[in-house]
Homo-oligomer: A and B are copies of this chain.
Amino acid sequence: MDRTDPAGAIAAAAKRCSNWGRWGPDDVRGTMNFLTPEKRKQGASLVRRGVSFSLSQSFDANGPQKGWRRRTNPVHTMLDTGTDAAAGVQGFPHGIGGADDVIAMPLQCSTQWDGLGHIFDHGIAWNGRRAADVVTSLGDAVTGIETVASVVAGRGVLLDVGRHLSPGGELADGFAITEEHLAATIAAQGSAVGRGDIVLVRTGQLTRARRNGWGDYAGGPAPGLSFTTADWLHRTEIAAIATDTWGFEVRPNEFDDAFQPLHQVAIPHIGLFLGEMWDLDALAEDCAADGVYDFWLTAAPLPITGAVGSPVNPIAVK
């Protein structure tokens, strides 16, 4: 890899890994096309004990956001409260009282999916469309996250790279996870990863942030996928991939002057859905305990019309 030529490396990877046209010129679901009813049947068959895990961080003012590009933590306010009800000021009959609430938040402030309209390559979005025709101030008119509202339920596989590669279970910030690391983890776990799977990569960074405080979790140095895994992401035909980090790929990025180069290949060219800031720790503990790393996973985005991402509470059931 030539650290000085991100543009060249991205262009080459984009060419090798492109899925443009694979599902026709009108496709809006990218790799979610791999997630078939057959995969769902396989996923559901993995429920053995009926134990469920939420893979979502909380959504509140104590989150990691520090304002980068106006990404803030959620602001949750009340429209009605129990104190109002108790004070008898709500004006309802027969003693009923109520509370109600509102939220204002960036769609990518906490546990989230990147939609296909989230990233562009030289002004071009997924499937070769012009970004300016896809995502305007009115939102994503083509590949809004609502297009996959019913899709994201299937077989999940945890790759606990942190636990496999590091005695403490946490990869260092700046650690680039390569295809070899992924393969070694898969082998060590006895897992299989293939078409239509939703792959969850645990780095351990969130474990560390939970212990030490957020610091620069939102955008700072982090372990993550190496740019060189683009071909693996493409070849395995996975439906989606998620990590416990802010930005999925290793940070600082592996080029001298770069910003999320793997995104630039993965989203517009592979058509891959990326999950970020997932909380994989409780699930990972359970997987380490019973040696079973695959499960039934539902991770349905909120169908916010025209959104380029969505908050999500992914539920894994083993």
Contact = CB atoms under 8 A, between A and B. Distances in A.
Interface string A73-111: 111111111111111111011111111111111111000
Nearest to A267: B98
Interface in A178-222: none
A234 to B, nearest CB: 18
Interface string A99-128: 111111111100000000111111101000
A195 to B, nearest CB: 14
Given A79-B71, A102-B106, A86 B130 contact: yes
State the oligomeric state as a number of copies: 4
Interface of A is mostly: mixed
Given A96-B119, A103-B105, A104-B102, A136 B89 contact: yes
A44 interface: yes
Contacts of A71: 79, 100
Interface residues of A, number: 118
Contact of A150 (B37, B47, B53, B88): B53
A80 B136 CA distance: 8
Contact of A56 (B41, B74, B303, B314): B303
Contacts of A58: 146, 303-305
Interface of A: 6-7, 10, 36-41, 43-45, 47-54, 56-62, 67, 69-90, 92-108, 117-123, 125, 130-140, 146, 149-153, 255, 257-261, 263-264, 296, 298, 300-309, 311-315, 317
7 contacts: A61-B67, A80-B137, A83-B86, A96-B264, A97-B122, A101-B139, A103-B304
